Amino acid sequence: MSEARAARRPGLPSPEAGWALFLDFDGTLVEIAEHPDAVTVPDALPALLRALVERLDGAVAIVSGRDLAGLDALLDGALPAMAGIHGLERRDGQGRLYRPVDHSERFTEVRAALHEFVETHPGTAMEDKGNALTLHYRGAPAVAEEAAAVMRNQCAALGEEFRLQPGKQVLEIRPSSHHKGTVVEAFMAEIPFRGRTPVFIGDDVTDEDAFQVVNTLGGHSIRVGTDRPTAAQYEIESVNEALQWLTSLARQLTPPS
Ligand SMILES: O=P(O)(O)OC[C@H]1O[C@H](O[C@H]2O[C@H](CO)[C@@H](O)[C@H](O)[C@H]2O)[C@H](O)[C@@H](O)[C@@H]1O
């Protein structure tokens, strides 16, 4: 999906008990760090997420590019509903796991090429998620164009079933079949999300697919960051602002009696 600019709305939407809340992870709930393993999860975050799950009758999901195992470890298993690798793995509100495709065997040559690239380009790193291969260059920003050329060539060799997903100093090759927009659609077709108003908060290019689906469904899309055009209807400045808003949301929604 392309990045369309949405009509910007002032402030943020007023909390409603009928919301279904979808949250990106890196750059939204935690600050970006030098390396994926170096993120600091705020001490209060797992408890905040559990409170939101309680207040919204379970209709809260993390929708991330990371894998589920990594997210569970970072968030102390706070949430039943989560999607990892941009929807290539998904756990529903009842804890059922979906892994709709398994293309990991298709990556043998790409894996080898990326191993060679990171060995010869200090500061770069490869993240192997099985169904997606990620090349990080935050530690070597000067190689951005070279990294992009390698990833473009490798992705093209795999064919149209695969797409190259850029992100914050990261490039990822993954199947085109699933993205954050299809994740939101899948959750919204199921209890406890069905019939609610979707609200998505994210920061990166990969979140644009979800913003567009949420806009189409009559929900609220919120981007963390103001540095580029976005399909999101609302913008906030920072992770800190996102966490403060979520904290006030949990306070304003009535706890079950
Ligand atoms: O969809 P998200 O939850 O935002 O995940 C997107 C990617 O996040 C991670 O990479 C990003 O965060 C790292 C830690 O702050 C940072 O070092 C890196 O430069 C960022 O691109 C994660 O490692 C990726 O697998 C996710 O796809």
136 with 245, same domain: the answer is no
Q: Per the domain annotation, does 164 fall within a domain?
A: yes
Q: Per the domain annotation, does 209 fall within a domain?
A: yes
- Which residue, 175, 205, 234, sits at the end of a domain? 175
CA 65 to ligand 1 centroid distance, Å = 7
Q: Which pLDDT score, from 0 to 100, does residue 1 have?
A: 44
Nearest CA to ligand 1 atom 6: 65
166 preceded by a cis bond (ω within 30 of 0): no
160 with 186, same domain: the answer is no
Whether ligand 1 lies within 6 angstroms of the CB of 235 is answered as no
| Closest by Cα among 215, 165, 164 to 185 | 215
Rounded to the nearest 10 degrees, what angle do helices 144-158 and 108-120 cross at?
A: 170
CA 170 to ligand 1 centroid distance, Å = 7
Range of the domain at 243: 19-100+178-252
Domain containing residue 95: CATH number: 3.40.50.1000
For the stretch 75-92, pLDDT in tens is 999 999 999 999 999 999
Q: In the beta sheet, which residues pair with residue 236?
A: 224
For the stretch 131-171, pLDDT in tens is 999 999 999 999 999 999 999 999 999 999 999 999 999 99
Q: Per the domain annotation, does 6 fall within a domain?
A: no
42 with 143, same domain: the answer is no
Q: Per the domain annotation, does 28 fall within a domain?
A: yes
Closest ligand 1 atom to residue 27 Cα is 4
- What region, left, alpha or beta, does residue 195 occupy, with left being phi > 0 and alpha being psi -120 to 50 degrees? left
146 with 239, same domain: the answer is no
Q: Over 70: is that where the pLDDT of 255 sits?
A: no
Nearest CA to ligand 1 atom 21: 168
The yes-or-no answer on residue 43 being catalytic is: no
For the stretch 181-221, pLDDT in tens is 999 999 999 999 999 999 999 999 999 999 999 999 999 99
* Gyration radius of the chain over CA positions: 18
State how beta strands 60-63 and 220-224 pair. Answer: unpaired
Between the CA of residue 187 and those of 121, 175, 214, what are the distances in Å? Answer: 40, 19, 12
- Which residue, 137, 152, 175, sits at the end of a domain? 175
**Nearest 10 degrees: Cα torsion 168, 174, 179, 182:** -170
Q: What is the best residue among 26, 45, 79, 129 to mutate for testing ligand 1's pocket, by most ligand atoms within 8 Å of CB?
A: 26
- Residue 101: which pLDDT band, with cuts at 50, 70 and 90? confident
168 with 184, same domain: the answer is no
Nearest CA to ligand 1 atom 10: 36
In terms of Cβ atoms closer than 10 Å to its own Cβ (0-12, 13-18, 19+), residue 173 is buried
Q: What is the pTM of this model?
A: 0.95
76 with 141, same domain: the answer is no
72 with 109, same domain: the answer is no
Long-range contacts, 211-216 (Cβ 8 Å, 24+): 211/6, 212/1, 212/4, 212/181, 213/181, 213/182, 213/184, 213/185, 214/22, 214/184, 215/6
Domain count, the chain: 2
Whether ligand 1 lies within 6 angstroms of the CB of 170 is answered as yes
